[in-house]
Amino acid sequence: MKVVDYFKQKRDGLSLHAFELKDLLSPSLREHWLDFVNRANKTQLGALVTHKQSASNDDVVEQPSKTKIEKTVVENIAPEAVAKTPAIEMKPEAEALYKELTATLGEVIHTGEWMTVDQGRINQFADVTEDHQWIHTNPERAAEESPFKTTIAHGFLTLSLLSVLTDSVDPENQKFPTAKMTVNMGFNKIRFPYPVKSENRIRATTKIQSVTPIKRGLEIVQELTVQIEGIRRPGCVAESVIQLHF
């Protein structure tokens, strides 16, 4: 198929199916859509197809780049047809924290205290989760058969300690004290680059990746890194999503 025929087919297809999209729009948007279609039909692309259609079939038409097409369409959209996202009004406490955090994007804003992960804690976690794999709970066998020569903490144990390691659960030492409530929305990704061995000391650092105003608060994406004392590689790196309500 020649380039000119391709663009003609696409133009005709939009014309045939435009009414289907129009019927799904609200009355206010429908008027903007009809204005957009009328303007698009008068663009340089429509004129190019009409002009080249009458040319010889042996002519070769240079295919416009996607950037040129998008620019042509955008330039012919009525300004009032562009949807505007309403600004979210923030409480003074939220606005102050928003400015504070956005000024520190990518920087370590918090480093927690060291905590020892002993065998007793590992055993308690194994009891709660019913995960009694010998690599976690059998020091004698681990000393003989494990490449680490000792037991290691469950990866999910390390993950579960993030709340206390980042001072997110201590009412006397909160990371975001101006917020009334912190809601854990989950994780975008989690990795355990190196095992936390029994009796290791660990701590966590926090970096803010993004801050987005939401209704009645802020949504924060933060990178949490669990450091192991004396080990270069981290025990856990997690991209956490939380919401602060004010």
State the DSSP code for 197. B
Read off the tokens for 149. Answer: 């020569």
Question: Looking at residues 89-106, what average pLDDT do you find?
Answer: 95
What are the tens digits of pLDDT across the range 30-84? 565 566 656 655 554 444 444 444 444 444 445 555 455 445 444 554 454 444 4
| CATH, range 92-245 | 3.10.129.10
3-state secondary structure of 199: coil
What are the tens digits of pLDDT across the range 141-190? 999 999 999 999 999 999 999 999 999 888 888 889 999 999 999 999 99
CA distances 86 to 13, 82, 89, 213, 215, Å, are: 34, 12, 9, 12, 11
What are the tens digits of pLDDT across the range 183-241? 999 999 999 999 999 999 999 999 999 999 999 999 999 999 999 999 999 999 999 99
CA distance from start to end of the chain: 59
Instruction: Record the pTM.
Output: 0.64
| pLDDT given at position 229 | 98
